[in-house]
Amino acid sequence: MVFEIILLCCGVYLLGAVIMMKITGKIPAGLVNKRIKLERSHDIEGYIKYMFPRGIIFGVLLTGSAAVLFVNYFVAVSPYIVLLVQLGYIAGVIYYAVCTIKAQNRFLF
């Protein structure tokens, strides 16, 4: 139950941060590596353009995964569906991490 709540909060936070990043044109410090000096970055607009759709998709994936796992806590859902959701979540985390690292190296360093 605690994992689902944390997952839901992370998904909602990511969605909000990515939307605010697109609106304001500024990258929130929580979405990039601490070592990156945003004031010296050469293509912040390119980073935002590249990461916005990926952030939205991953935020929706996190929120949806949390919803399915939360429903499973109260109503027994098929264990195969839960396994599929968990595998999708893990694949999403790996994909988003790789995209984030590539984007930081390409646009911000």
What pLDDT score does 15 carry?
95
Q: Are the beta carbons of 107 and 50 closer than 8 angstroms?
A: yes
Task: Please state the domain extents for the chain.
Answer: 2-108
pLDDT digits (tens, 9 = 90+) for 4-47: 899 999 999 999 999 999 999 999 888 888 888 888 888 899 99
Protein fold of 2-108: 3 helical TM bundles of succinate and fumarate reductases (1.20.1300)
Which three-class secondary structure state does DSSP give residue 96?
helix
pTM confidence score: 0.87
Q: Are the beta carbons of 73 and 1 closer than 8 angstroms?
A: yes
Tokens of 102: 């590539």
